[in-house]
Structure 1
């Protein structure tokens, strides 16, 4: 066991006072590598970093209750810590093979702190140095214990990036670009030799004028149209069987643990009978995101983000409108369709013309209006928890959802999404 200092995690901070952000970190192939976990308090915003770090310490200390594996799945979890946290006894709660501890460049590398980091590194903990903007003497003292160097594109000039990247690569450090907001920025950092990328550039649509759906995408969209138009089961079944690959992929998906069916489904007819049309449409929507990965394209992060949004919106709708199954089904559809403009490289207005949707779904997707638009906006704010933390709390109050309830729903959505992604590709 690691010897720890006597500093205790603040008992005044409760897990229920905080909600969670999970931001994906991608590798050079845009495949999922890890998540940065960001904990924000109900009363804290982006400027209240000290409170947020104490929030991190508190949640880590209660990780058995939180279920860290549910949050990060098979990926690595990057967690921010400060000097007080480093000197606390929270590390007995952390799986050292699953987490990377992030410290900021401005943390003063005193001899005692360096000794503490060395001790933790000697016990298998890995470290990332965050918000690096210089190659200062302080950075040099910390660098020997650091595996990952993170540079924030919003705070670092291109000249600094071009100067620092080769320097840290020479030291065999893994470079991570943070706050990557456009595909052009991703390409620039890729050329500079960065290994990992954090930001939602991958979820922003690169609209291509006149873009058409691929034959496989069109087949799934046509099927969704048959289901929403109440076509006979025999017609739906025949349409699915017409595309052998589609039928096989659908059967594999509906046999995942995320579906919750105890007995194996062996035929399209059985899937229609057991799942029903709404559930079948759900898995067709998921197939649209999984299909590019089967062609060798790295769309796993988009699949993960879409399924997380869909599931979280479904769970929120079920809590806010209990007993109204149709409402939660619509919420899931809005969540998963909200990234189809990126998936198809088409404007959302064109997508809702090709895929039949109700007026309330259209309003949510195109203008973020109505009940479902409000839920979608909340999910988007949670994803951008750094910039939107002050917006989330008023939205939760308006919906009469507590931080504790949101955290529980988030964990359930993360776990469900990770199960889907694992089996879908």
Structure 2
């Protein structure tokens, strides 16, 4: 595939995922900037999205896709499903008669219309009358501007989306102002419950991580550690049986699971069970990110000649939001549980040069759609960007399949 595609979550007031915005660009070998500023040709967008299928990228959530003037007038959106697509009209689109007509036709066909980076101008009035969602850039707007847009255009139809929300404080401010949806990486920033003490209720989960992460593991010892916590043992078996459901026989004990799927796979499901317990029913998207990152890192390691470190690569991904889920800084967490130095240094950003650190940094840049940084890191690691996209999309698909089975 000649595209780089990532996704960024959009949340509601309850921090439940409402949809994802797809970030995309053609690969360096096939990239160009057309006269009207299109970042990717309609053929590439259409070919990429249709061949992949929205469900591969976003599950059953809404899918926000940027549309330029050309893509709107060429009616590209009509070839994509109206029940899941949100047509995001870029701020660079001039609302001339042909654009207004195209948006009205989309609206009549059941598509959701969003206006990106909205700043009011009188000529935008016809588009406002068609819009379902108005996106406001919180980074570049003053508090007065953020509030005045809602006061001026609030009605029963239009919902307001605050984008570039990076902290919990910004999220809470946007809620108070009357915004309905929220986009940004605030969900990936920890809300510290304590800077010095891991809450007792979560300390046992840390001990489980310590047991799972031991360099040399005795099957019997690991089984005993897991079975000591009945609720945790049940969760692990539930996940394992969800994953193995197509093979018929149910696994009834941790020891049986070890025999059926082996130590490395059981370790992975044990990690996921710990994260779910730490989250206490919250932070669902953070867990999803950990799963995608774990799968990506695990699959990426052989590509760069690090197959023997596959377990360490996976551990970096699975523990990457442990601070968010535990409410405690990673430095403190790592004082409580021994973690391999290469994993610890990567997650604490104390290592920039190792392959595991470079791979993790590449993944973080990919998630944010910082495509030039992705291409630079890919060159350093001697990896084709097409392969990165392939592994990333496979990781998302894997996560969606696993979470659907668990639920």
- Is the pair's TM-score, using the shorter chain for normalization, greater than 0.5? yes
Deviations 1:123-152 (A, max 9, x none): 121110010122x22221101221111001
Distance 2:177 2:83 in 1: 28
Of 267, 272, 280, 2:258 maps to 272
Structure number with greater CO (CA < 8 Å, separation at least 6) is 1
Match of 2:26?
Answer: 41
Matches for 1:74-85 after TM superposition, within 5 Å: 74-85=60-71
- Structure 2 vs 1, CA of residues 49 and 267 (structure 1 numbering), >3 Å: closer, same or farther? farther
Q: Pick from 382, 395, 409 the counterpart of residue 377 of structure 2.
A: 395
- Checking the alignment, whether the CA contact within 8 Å between 1:40 and 1:55 is kept in structure 2 is no
In 1, the alpha carbon distance for the partners of 2:104 and 2:269 equals 48
The 5 A counterparts of 1:123-202 are: 123-134=109-120, 136-170=121-155, 172-202=157-187
Which stretch of structure 1 is more off in the superposition, 397-406 or 70-79? 397-406
Deviations 1:31-72 (A, max 9, x none): 111100011233499x99965542465222342323322111
2:71 partner SS = helix
Kept in 2: contact 1:255–1:261 (CA 8 A): no
The 3-state SS of whatever aligns with 2:399 is helix
Displacement after TM superposition at 1:119 (Å): 1.1
Report the CA distance between 1:360 and its aligned residue: 1.4
User: Quick check: 1:422 aligned with 2:407?
Assistant: no
1:28 aligned partner: 13
1:354 matched to 2:336: yes
The answer to whether structure 1 residue 211 and structure 2 residue 197 are counterparts is yes
Query: How many angstroms does 1:234 deviate by?
Result: 3.0
- Further displaced range: 227-236 or 174-183: 227-236
Q: How far, CA to CA, are the matches of 1:93 and 1:149 in structure 2?
A: 23
Alignment of 1:227-376 (within 5 A): 227=212, 228=214, 230-257=216-243, 263-292=249-278, 295-296=280-281, 298-321=282-305, 324=307, 326-366=308-348, 367-369=350-352, 370-376=354-360
Gaps of 5+ in 1: 1-14
Partner Cα separation in structure 2 for residue 317 and residue 183 of structure 1: 34
1:145 counterpart SS class: coil
Give 1:257 deviation, angstroms.
3.5
With normalisation by structure 2, the TM-score equals: 0.91
Distance 1:163 1:371, change over 3 A: same
**How high is the TM-score relative to the length of structure 1?**
0.87
Which one is further off, 34-43 or 346-355? 346-355
8 Å contact from structure 2 (residues 26, 39) kept in 1: no
2:106 to 105, 120, 139: 120
Q: Secondary structure at the match of 1:237?
A: helix
| CA-CA distance at 1:242 after TM superposition | 2.4
**Cα distance, 1:91 vs structure 2:** 3.3
Distance in 2, matches of 1:263 and 1:330, equals 31
CA contact (8 A) 1:203 1:339 kept: yes
Q: Hey, what's the Cα distance between the residues in 1 that align with 2:244 and 2:86? A: 28
What is the RMSD computed on CA atoms of the aligned residues? Answer: 2.6
Moved more, 360-369 or 408-417: 360-369
Using the TM superposition, name which of 302-311 and 105-114 deviates more. 105-114
Structure 1 contact 61–93 (Cα < 8 Å) conserved = no
Q: 1:108 to 1:69 in 2, by over 3 A?
A: same
Partner of 2:59: 73
**What residue is the counterpart of 1:405 in the other structure?**
387
**C-alpha distance in 2, partners of 1:175/1:40?**
26
The question of whether the paired residues in 1 share the 8 Å contact of 2:26 and 2:40 is answered with no
User: How far apart are 1:411 and its partner, in Å?
Assistant: 1.0
Gaps of 5+ in 2: none
Query: Does residue 108 in structure 1 map to residue 98 in structure 2?
Result: no
Count of residue correspondences: 402
In structure 2, the CA distance between the partners of 1:182 and 1:54, relative to structure 1 (3 Å rule), is same
- In structure 1, distance between residues paired with 2:51 and 2:402: 23
